[in-house]
Homo-oligomer: A and B are copies of this chain.
Amino acid sequence: MSAEQSPPTLRDVAARAGVSPMTVSRVLRDHPRVTERTRERVLAAVDALGYRRNELARNLRLGRTSGLVGLVVTNLANPFYSQLALGVEAIAGERGLKVVLGNTAEDVQRERRLVEEFAARRVDGLIVVPAGADHSHLTSSRLGRLPVVLAARPPSNIAADCVLVDDFGGAREATARLIAHGAIRPGFLGLPLSAWTGSERFRGFCVALDEAGLTLDERYVRRNQRTIATAEAAALQVLSLPDPPDAFFCANSRNTLGAFRAISASGSRPALAGFDDFEMADVLGLPLIVVAYDPEELGRQAARLLLDRIDREPGAADSPPRRIVIPTTVVEYGMAEQPAVRG
């Protein structure tokens, strides 16, 4: 008597209940045309055997896909992307879709492989934070009718829906606030212009300066900081100029924190603004302007765009790609009153 190793099938249930597999199938699908008595017998057998319907077989038979949404992000350890994932999961879950995860670590090769594998698993759709600028592996010629939504970065040379943060508007608004608080020579700590967010946030910064009639001093611009430490070094460098900036706009939280450290260490008191809110922004003890937004909302919107495409009639003509921009809000911590640092 070998204990059954593989899970019971619908046939096993049918045998035990003394009915045909079809009847079991109907009971499980809540088909109306089943006698109450039969239903009870079947359910008893299901219970006794611990039967669970095999969704894989079911989906195959129904010609459906997997009921999965592939989510490909560049770095799940980054709270931005994990919150995005949370938003995707919430909306997909409402429709009974599950989310399959892929982490690329910004590696374009890995991204290609993941997209291929997800397609082979017949996911219903893909949400991708593309690592590179080459999106050829996401074209409909490669993926057939598999819907794709890009998140956080816009499509390049392909037609696809996308959801973006208002990088430009947020940077512009925060810089404007900095200027309103008296800054006349702001510096910029940012990302390489090759990154979408890098160039958009810099553009917002520049436009705000322009609108205030200020001119940008190129010596105040540093763009290659990827860690808090290098950001701190860059800020210190700029601060040690004979005529240092009186403010910084930082393109992400790593730069903001680096600048914060540099300011704490140096004697000067430039004003500080930065993209990305963070949990401890208000306890840093220095006045601070941050550009806040909701990464979870980004995920939710991306999922909604994807569901829209998934629900479309397969025969219907492709609708034009849509682009959703998530708004940002500017938050000021301790700007009016004196800084909270104790003397």
Contact = CB atoms under 8 A, between A and B. Distances in A.
Nearest to A52: B120
B101 A99 contact: yes
Given A101-B99, A101-B100, A83 B90 contact: no
A99 B102 CA distance: 8
Nearest to A101: B99
Contacts of A343: 343
Copies of this chain, count? 2
A85 to B, nearest CB: 6
Nearest to A118: B98
Contacts of A86: 76-77, 103
A279 B89 contact: no
Contact of A279 (B100, B103, B257): B257
A332 B114 CA distance: 40
Interface stretch (A37-45, A56-64, A178-186, A237-245): A56-64
**Interface residues of A, dominant DSSP:** mixed
Interface stretch (A11-19, A155-163, A280-288): A280-288
A315 B2 CA distance: 8
Contacts of A7: 122, 144-145
Given A68-B100, A100-B99, A103-B90, A53 B120 contact: yes
A320 interface: no
A117 interface: yes
Interface in A23-71: 50, 52-57, 59-60, 63, 65-68, 71
A228 B81 CA distance: 23
Interface string A237-280: 00000000000000000000100110011000000000000111
Contact of A261 (B71, B102, B103, B283): B283
A74 to B, nearest CB: 11
B284 A260 contact: no
Interface of A: 2, 5-7, 50, 52-57, 59-60, 63, 65-68, 71, 76-77, 79, 81-83, 85-86, 89-90, 93, 98-103, 116-122, 141-142, 144-145, 228, 257, 260-261, 264-265, 278-280, 283-285, 296, 314-315, 340-343
6 contacts: A50-B142, A71-B101, A79-B79, A98-B117, A99-B101, A264-B283
Closest 6 CB pairs of A and B: A82-B82, A5-B314, A76-B86, A99-B101, A55-B120, A55-B121
